[in-house]
Amino acid sequence: MSSPSQTGPKPRIAIVGYGSQGRAHALNLRDSGFDVTIGLRPGGPTEIKARADGFTVRTPAEAVKGAELVAVLTPDMVQAQLYGEVIEPNIAPGACLLFAHGFNVHYQQINPREDLDVVLVAPKGPGALVRREYEIGRGVPSVYAVHQDRSGKAEALALAYCAGIGGARQNAIKTTFKEETETDLFGEQAVLCGGATKLVQAGWETLVEAGYQPEVAYYECLHELKLIVDLFYEGGVTRMHEFISETAQYGALTRGPYVVDENTKAQMKKVLQEIQDGTFARQWIAEYAAGNTQYKALKQADLDHPIEAVGRKLRANMKWLSTAPQARPADAADAAEAAQPEEAAA
């Protein structure tokens, strides 16, 4: 681990994209003393937001031309076209190209120009949290990596950027584009998003099919999950055991392996293998290029699951939810930004 601090001249930065992560990075960097310009397609809602935040906004091509460091913070699936059409023709020789996720470089959708430094800085939290933690003097833990070091200063640039967004306050962990990409995708698919969603839905279905009330099943299989996740977040499995009953502990220890067994782990290994050998990337790239028909159908099936209707009804009476901060999931910054295609091109 490293505990970097920013010293020496600060590079002029162009942030291309102003979604969840883009806005947080830009605001934090400016507050850290960096000269930040935002690159956006003219006329979109994010241009209005960036100007309201006091930034100079230019087209992506214009923003890139004047930058010593270009941070690409648009959705994964538009980055290859953006790089080929806008960034590569305009980025200065010897500049630094920065990503917050290694997908396109690792899977060779982007092959950066040989003269560029190419680095990665990835906060382990959603943009809203990255900003909030910076403002109160803390920071969200981050990982960083170097793919190309043409200047001999690429790592120092990555660490300076990491310090600028507050990530260095929690110690930055050095990784590689390969490790960041593959572990990030695996976590989303097998545990955080895919695995958790299917576990909740299957648990709810099991109780409802056995004759229990859907509302009671919702509380037991979805609503109370937050209580356990918060304990994990604060102190790992150890803290969970400190705060749940002995009955719950015994049930978890003896029945948990019924559900997550060696077959489950074998399926997780399959998920990882398809990430490592590029199968997932090829499928997702092809799906996006074909118009996202399957993706949209699968997502709609999730949204139409009966647990969602039950949840909406119950949450309508949870008045505290209307005043609680709404944080979006971390690699779900991509999902938020994907709804803003005006960021994708000049």
The residues annotated with a catalytic role in the active site are: 101
pLDDT value of position 324: 56
Helix (H, G, I), strand (E, B) or coil at 318: coil
- For the entire predicted model, the pTM comes to 0.90
18 assigned to a ligand binding site: yes
Bridge partners, 145 (sequence order): 120
Is 20 annotated in a binding site? The answer is: yes
Answer whether 122's CB lies under 8 Å from 100's CB.
yes
pLDDT for 268: 98
Regions of the chain short of the pLDDT cut 50: 1-7, 327-346
Answer whether 16's CB lies under 8 Å from 73's CB: yes
Q: Using CA atoms, how far apart are residues 237 and 229, in angstroms rounded to an integer? A: 10
Superfamily of domain 13-175: NAD(P)-binding Rossmann-like Domain (3.40.50.720)
Is 32 labelled a binding residue?
Answer: no
Task: Tell me what pLDDT residue 335 has.
Answer: 37
Q: pLDDT tens digits for 227-279?
A: 999 999 999 999 999 999 999 999 999 999 999 999 999 999 999 999 999 99
DSSP code at position 15:
E
Q: What is the pLDDT of residue 116?
A: 98
184 is an annotated ligand-binding site residue: yes
Domain boundaries, the chain: 13-175, 192-260+291-338
